[in-house]
Amino acid sequence: MPETNLFADFAPLPVGIALMQVLLALCAAVAGILAGHLASRGARAALQSGRTGWRLWLPELLAVGVGPFITAVVLVGCRALPAVAAWPLTVLDDSLYLTLLWLLCRIGLWLLALAAGRGSWLGRHELVFTWLAWVVGLASFIGLLEVLESTLDTIDLIPGKGVFSLWSLLKGLAVVALFLAITSIVSRAIERRVMRIEALAPSTRIGIAKFSYFFLTSLGLLIGINAAGVDLTALTVLTGAIGIGLGFGLQSIASNFVSGFVLLLDKSIKPGDVISFTGMTGTSTENFGWVQELRGRYVVVRDRDGVETLVPNQNLITNPVINWSYSDRKVRLKLPVRISYADDPEQALTLLVEAAYCSPRVLRDPAPVSRLMHFSDHGIDLELRFWITDPADGVNNVRSDVNRSIWKHFKQAGITIPVAQYDVRVVQTRGGGA
């Protein structure tokens, strides 16, 4: 970046030559604005047509860069004119420099926004950050940044032998924030790319994405601190304090993070799995839901009511969890039924199997079966057992359909479901009292 003062360069120019160069610079800017407007119309048409991939981002790149590029070409052409080449080209040279600076900022921020995603904070405020970067470059070009640096450098925050000025603090924060932002954007881009690889298991994809995010973010933090001029060897005491904090105050948070990586590595729970947190198997659906997302500290579980529960990773490691779809998505359901001793149990067992076929979700292979379990005080206890392959679509709705079908079949066959009854006997004693 040239060490110059823009206003000092303008001073020795004759007024007529300066105004002519300003006019040529304005004409170049108008040409660039018109070219950028036409390119923006093409980018909007590509977006509305539903294009994807390079067919979409190529028109966007042209819309972003063609304006300042045309302006720079016109400025270079004006400088090459014989009548203009004899002038002191201070205005045209400065305009060309600022145009190329804008082109660099515009394309650089557009690439970062493309990597971060249009829905990210950078994608939503891309133009704001572009203007901010260009203004910083302009301030450095005209010398204002040096004045600001010299002023803030005189403010010492820590009086003593060492010098730590306000400028050093702001510079360090800016450098660290810049490196963190870049590494975060790169890691998010890697995460989106890895999540689209269908050949990898979902848990493997999530593990690679999370590891790359934490690794690149930590690396960006260390590089930013080092680039800010801080000696990393001086952070030994700080890292020791962080270790003690992890051992005491942050023990639960660290445990959840480690448990999250364990879940990703052993693939015991992955997105799409149907799980429940009750210790009962069979037809119990208490805390029943399916895994929506694996995060660094918790797992998102969505139940049938649409409620999303954030379960800490440590709970899934230390507590029993039923994974209904761990190795096989088939789940067997059991429906207990009681009939009267006056009814034929063989007929009831046959009707139970027929009633199970009322729902298309009940598997034909393995086929439903009925069992006579035991003889109770109030009737004969039977049980219908059948399989389904889609527990994520609900279990109680299938149970309800089959129970209704059992009631209809029993009603038509005259089989009764007994109600528990108790006989109260009044015994009269010898004394005449009850």
Contact 294, 203 (CB under 8 A): yes
Average pLDDT, the chain: 78
Closest CA to 253 of 207, 302, 314: 314
* Sheet of 369-375, strand order: 331-339, 380-388, 369-375
Give the C-alpha distances (Å, rounded to integers) separating 174 from 9, 122, 162, 178, 227: 31, 16, 21, 6, 11
For 360-404, the DSSP string reads: TTS-SSSPPEEEEEEE-SSSEEEEEEEEES-GGG-SHHHHHHHHH
Provide CB contacts within 8 A for 207, sequence distance 6+: 261, 264, 265
- Residue 229 predicted with pLDDT over 70: no
Determine the Cα–Cα distance for residues 390 and 165; give it in Å rounded to an integer. Answer: 64
The region of weakest confidence among 174-178, 246-250, 279-283 is: 279-283
- Residue 332 predicted with pLDDT over 90: no
CB-neighbour burial class of residue 128 (10 A; exposed 0-12, middle 13-18, buried 19+): exposed
Determine the Cα–Cα distance for residues 116 and 131; give it in Å rounded to an integer. Answer: 19
Contact 335, 402 (CB under 8 A): yes
pLDDT (0 to 100) of residue 231: 62
DSSP 229: T
pLDDT band, very low/low/confident/very high, at 242 (cuts 50, 70, 90):
low
- Per DSSP, what are the bridge partners of residue 156? 165
pLDDT (0 to 100) of residue 54: 64
Length of the chain: 434
- Residue 355 predicted with pLDDT over 50: yes
Q: What is the pLDDT of residues 359-411, one digit of tens each?
A: 889 999 889 999 999 998 888 999 999 999 887 677 888 999 999 999 999 99
pLDDT (0 to 100) of residue 283: 39
Strand, coil or helix: 308: strand
- Residue 198 predicted with pLDDT over 80: no
pLDDT band, very low/low/confident/very high, at 351 (cuts 50, 70, 90):
very high
- Residue 238 predicted with pLDDT over 80: no
pLDDT (0 to 100) of residue 22: 80
Determine the Cα–Cα distance for residues 292 and 274; give it in Å rounded to an integer. Answer: 10
Q: Which domains are seen in the chain, by residue range?
A: 6-152 (no CATH), 331-413 (3.30.70.100)
pLDDT (0 to 100) of residue 80: 76
Q: What is the largest CA-CA distance in the chain?
A: 141
How many Cα atoms occupy the beta-carbon half-sphere of 172 within 13 Å?
Answer: 14
Single pTM value for the model? 0.48
